[in-house]
Amino acid sequence: MDTTRNRLIRILQDHKTSYISGQNLSEQLGISRAAVWKHMKALEADGYEIDAVPRKGYQVRRSPDKLSKNTLNWQLDTEWIGRKIIFEEELDSTQILAKSLADQGAVHGTVVIADQQTSGKGTKGRSWHSPAGTGIWMSLIIRPEFGPREAAQLTLAAAVAITRVFRQNDIDAAIKWPNDIYLGGKKLAGILTEMQAEQDYIQHIVLGIGININQTVSEIDPDIRKKATSLRIETDKEWKRQELIHLIWKEFEDVYSLYINKGFLDIRDEWMQYALRLGHRVKAATPSAVFEAVFRGIGEDGELILENDDGSTQRLYSAELKWKEE
């Protein structure tokens, strides 16, 4: 929904280097000057630094680093992702709320995002430690134009989009099949895809994304400290979460458009460029066996391709990879 606050934010963005009068804002927004002033005070309470100069008007000097619905709308440059944002300071799980909203008809591109999760969801029923102020915890509602068979490919596409953003920022992240993102040999981000579908029709997909951004070593859960990391730990600097979120949304739109218009093959090729331990010996665990093989990449459906010791190839749609030394 295009709220007055969102429209105000976009107008202020267009005047980042100049002042705009209260009267001008009043006319564009169709509200009183007193209402404009109240909106400005609400933005200041959210951390915006606003100059208000008599006879000149208003100008935003600085937007805050904190996450909020207002800051997520600031400088938003997407076509459909995030045009509807549900932000909460604290949720049990963005995935749980997003699934509920999707069942109620939430539109394509709706994002549920929290500063903190108390019961974050990972893959295979695992929990995801999601402390306040440190990471990106969000779920994206998608109403796709393809069938259930292709849903797994969307998870791989999301991993490509996120890894693109990291690589563009000189972060040498890599993807562990199918959708975990690693940095410095440890897990940095995870993607969880949950689907509501009929036999040949997807009602919705909820794509959950968790990324460790600004945790210090002491803020990583001790139980996973040997396996998990954050951008701050690996790069020795703090990152603006809002900027990374916008970049991820933008790249995902690009990858999604590529997928819809050209299919999976180009995305598969890019996924292979980012693949972790491609050509290396790995351990694969399936419900029926644990064995070693050489990781040769992914197939046209996104399935895992392994080469056995006898040179034969097997393709797996469900398995957990581990490194030989683990």
CATH code, domain with 32: 1.10.10.10
The closest alpha carbon to 112, from 123, 226, 104, belongs to 104
- Among 62, 97, 112, give the residue marking a domain's end: 62
**174 & 292 share domain:** no
Helices (H) and strands (E) in the chain, counts: 9, 15
Residue 74 pLDDT greater than 90, yes or no: no
Longest dimension (CA), the chain: 81
3-state secondary structure of 74: coil
**pLDDT value of position 65:** 73
292 and 172 in a common domain: no
Report pLDDT for 15.
85
117 labelled as ligand-binding? yes
pTM for the whole thing? 0.85
What pLDDT, on a 0 to 100 scale, did the predictor assign at position 126? 65
Q: How many domains does the chain have?
A: 3
**Per-residue confidence (pLDDT) for residue 217, from 0 to 100:** 94
Averaged pLDDT, 197-217: 94
Same domain (yes/no): 293, 158: no
Nearest 5°: phi and psi at 25?
-60, -40
Q: Is residue 135 a contact partner of residue 231, using CB atoms and an 8 Å limit?
A: no
Give yes or no: residues 197 and 306 share one domain: no
265 and 292 co-located in one domain: no
Residue 325 has pLDDT above 60, yes or no: no
Query: pLDDT (tens digit, 9 = 90+) per residue, 249-279?
Result: 999 999 999 999 999 999 999 999 999 999 9
Residues 314 and 270 placed together within one structural domain of the fold: no
Q: How far is residue 173 from each of residues 2, 30, 151, 162, 169, measured CA to CA in Å? A: 36, 47, 24, 9, 10
Instruction: Lowest mean pLDDT of 63-72, 116-125, 177-186, 270-279, name the range.
Output: 116-125
Q: In the predicted model, is pLDDT for residue 59 greater than 60?
A: yes
Q: Which of 30, 62, 94 is the last residue of a domain?
A: 62
The predicted model gives 200-225 an average pLDDT of: 93
Please check whether residues 312 and 228 belong to one and the same domain.
Answer: no
Q: In the listed set 62, 84, 99, which residue is the last one of a domain according to the structure?
A: 62
Q: What is the pLDDT of residue 1?
A: 47
pLDDT bin (cut points 50, 70, 90) of residue 46 is confident
Mean pLDDT lowest for which of 65-74, 88-97, 132-141, 177-186? 65-74
Are 200 and 147 in a shared domain?
yes
Q: In the prediction, which pLDDT does 2 show?
A: 58
Averaged confidence pLDDT in the chain? 91
- Same domain? For 46 and 135 the reply is no
How much is the average pLDDT of 290-294? 94
Q: Contact at 8 Å (CB) between 308 and 296?
A: no
Instruction: Report d(CA 118, CA 92) in Å as an integer.
Output: 5
For residue 228, give the DSSP letter: B
Query: In one letter, which amino acid is 220?
Result: I
Residue-level pLDDT at 179: 86
Task: Print the domain residue range for 29.
Answer: 4-62
195 with 86, same domain: the answer is yes
Q: Say whether 186 counts as a known binding-site residue.
A: no
**Domain identity same for 75 and 24:** no
Asked whether residue 168 falls in the same domain as residue 309, the answer is no
